[in-house]
């Protein structure tokens, strides 16, 4: 039986990952400081004999015995990671040092949940892993982008210097049940607004694009990446390559939810990337992975979830 540590395990992606690990028979230690995650996301696992929840902040050392580590701890939505930007950088950088130190001591294989944000506002489209990115080092998104870039650096230096078995995935916009309703991300915003009969807030003119991956597909990719041959470190992009503008997304949400909502236009936030689409050729080749759930089906599941939790 594998003993698996999931940092950030009570968050959106982390809780789905814990579900899948427990389901397949792993012994799971979920560590979280509940900054953006919640016990509710893993409440259904608490009585499982092979699931354990620990309140802990990854910026502090952690001494446990495990075989595998998934490092997801870090607020992911712009409004959350900008609330306390210094803590965001510390979580990415000190957090990475601590989990890497842990992996080194116990000889665990370790996976980093990196992000498409390492590409910044890209001049290359779609983004392949070889692209080095265009990131503002001093802007309001930098605490997250540069923190995640430094974490990647640390992963590769621990790999080169201490021969750690590392895996790095760059996750593109992912959505689904258990997203935080108030995290300000576009999918949760649009769905919650539509369900409440409010107008959907389009930032800028809505022509900027993103590519949205359903959570189940993403977790498949992460699990497959952890089990790839030892020499394959990544970084590897994980995401859905179907690209939509925010106007197209709003139309889809409105057609699923119905109701009286219209669109209202708000200013575009600083450093908001114009476009983003993963090149997933490497994931297809190395993991045999590609996403299966289309936007309409994924949005339906997510709408059903928010209807339930918001009682709308
Ligand atoms: P989330 O905010 O729901 O989850 C992050 C979790 O980390 C939360 O449970 C939070 O409480 C916990 N956390 C934050 N700081 C911590 C700390 N110092 N110590 C311990 N726990 C801490 O976000 P998510 O969408 O589930 O993202 C999970 C990971 O995936 C993040 O590392 C994020 O950067 C990455 N990612 C997500 C997306 C996406 O679209 N969802 C895209 C790219 C990358
Ligand atoms: N660390 C940890 N758990 C462990 C081993 C190490 O949290 O099981 C932390 C430790 O506090 C240290 C960091 O990981 O600050 C990096 O460890 P490493 O051994 O790489 O560096 P060093 O201890 O030599 O600074
Ligand atoms: N966005 C929007 N309305 C909202 C929230 C976000 O138009 O209510 C836009 C935002 O400006 C960005 C895109 O949607 O261009 C995706 O934003 P999100 O915060 O979900 O993710 P990220 O910018 O990190 O990709």
Give 225 Cα–ligand 1 centroid separation in angstroms: 18
Query: How much is the average pLDDT of 121-145?
Result: 95
pLDDT at 208: 95
Ligand 3 center from residue 186 Cα (angstroms): 5
258 torsion bin: left (phi>0), alpha (psi -120 to 50), beta (else) = left
Banded model confidence at residue 151, pLDDT cuts 50, 70, 90: very high
Q: 186-210+242-276+293-310 — its CATH code?
A: 3.90.25.10
Please say if the pLDDT value at position 236 is more than 80.
yes
> Which atom number of ligand 3 is nearest to the Cα of residue 184?
5
- The whole-number pLDDT of residue 18 equals 98
Residue 103 Cβ contacting ligand 1 at under 6 Å: no
Question: What percent of the chain is modeled with pLDDT above 90?
Answer: 94
pLDDT in tens, 9-32: 999 999 999 999 999 999 999 999
Q: Which pLDDT score is estimated for 94?
A: 98
Determine the pLDDT at residue 273.
87
Q: What is the pLDDT of residue 41?
A: 96
Atom of ligand 2 nearest to the CA of 62: 7
Ligand 2 center–CA 140 separation, angstroms:
30
Cα 43 from chain centroid?
A: 20
Give backbone dihedrals phi and psi of 248, rounded to 5 degrees, phi first: -65, -40
Per-residue pLDDT, 312: 66
Mean pLDDT, rounded, for 159-179: 97
- The single residue of 81, 119, 144, 158 carrying the catalytic annotation is 144
- The residue whose CA is least distant from atom 3 of ligand 3 is 202
Q: HSE-up of 145 (CA within 13 Å, CB side)?
A: 22
Residue linked to tokens 């977790």 = 219
Domain ranges of the chain: 3-175+214-238, 186-210+242-276+293-310
Are 3-175+214-238 and 186-210+242-276+293-310 the same fold in CATH? Answer: no
Does the structure show a pLDDT above 80 at 169? yes
Ligand 3 atom nearest 268 alpha carbon: 11
Q: Which protein residue has the closest C-alpha to ligand 1 atom 41?
A: 174
Among the bound ligands, name the one nearest to the CA of residue 173. Answer: 1
Q: Which fold has domain 3-175+214-238?
A: Rossmann fold (3.40.50)
Cα–ligand 3 centroid distance for 210 (angstroms): 8
Ligand (nearest to CA of 206): 3
Question: Has this prediction a pTM greater than 0.85?
Answer: yes
Question: Is 81 among the catalytic positions?
Answer: no
Q: Name the band, by pLDDT with cuts 50, 70 and 90, for residue 8.
A: very high
């Amino acid at each position: 039986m594998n003993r698996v540590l999931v940092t950030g395990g009570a968050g959106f992606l982390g809780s789905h990952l814990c579900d899948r690990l427990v389901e397949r028979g792993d012994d799971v230690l979920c560590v979280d400081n509940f900054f953006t995650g919640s016990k509710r996301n893993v409440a259904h696992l608490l009585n499982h004999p092979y699931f354990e929840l620990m309140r802990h902040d990854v910026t502090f050392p952690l001494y446990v015995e495990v075989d595998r580590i998934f490092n997801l701890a870090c607020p992911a939505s712009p409004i959350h990671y900008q609330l306390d930007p210094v803590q965001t950088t510390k979580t990415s950088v000190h957090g990475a040092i601590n989990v890497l130190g842990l992996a080194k001591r116990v000889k665990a294989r370790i996976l980093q949940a990196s992000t498409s944000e390492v590409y910044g506002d890209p001049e290359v489209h779609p983004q392949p892993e070889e692209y080095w990115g265009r990131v503002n080092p001093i802007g309001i998104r930098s605490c997250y982008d540069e923190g995640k870039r430094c974490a990647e650096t640390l992963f590769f230096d621990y790999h080169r210097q201490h021969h750690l078995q590392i895996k790095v995935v760059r996750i593109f916009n992912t959505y689904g049940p258990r997203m935080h309703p108030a995290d300000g991300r576009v999918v949760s915003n649009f769905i919650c607004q539509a369900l409440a009969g409010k107008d959907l807030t389009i930032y800028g003119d809505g022509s900027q694009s993103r590519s949205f991956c359903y959570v189940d597909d993403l977790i498949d990719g992460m699990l497959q990446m952890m089990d790839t041959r030892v020499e394959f470190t990544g970084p590897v992009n994980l995401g859905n390559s179907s690209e939509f503008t925010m106007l197209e997304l709003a139309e889809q949400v409105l057609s699923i939810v119905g109701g009286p909502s219209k669109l209202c236009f708000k200013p575009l936030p600083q450093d908001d990337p114009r476009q983003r689409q993963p090149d997933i050729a490497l994931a297809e080749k190395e993991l045999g992975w590609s996403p299966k759930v289309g936007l309409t089906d994924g949005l339906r599941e997510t709408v059903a979830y928010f209807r339930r939790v918001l009682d709308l």
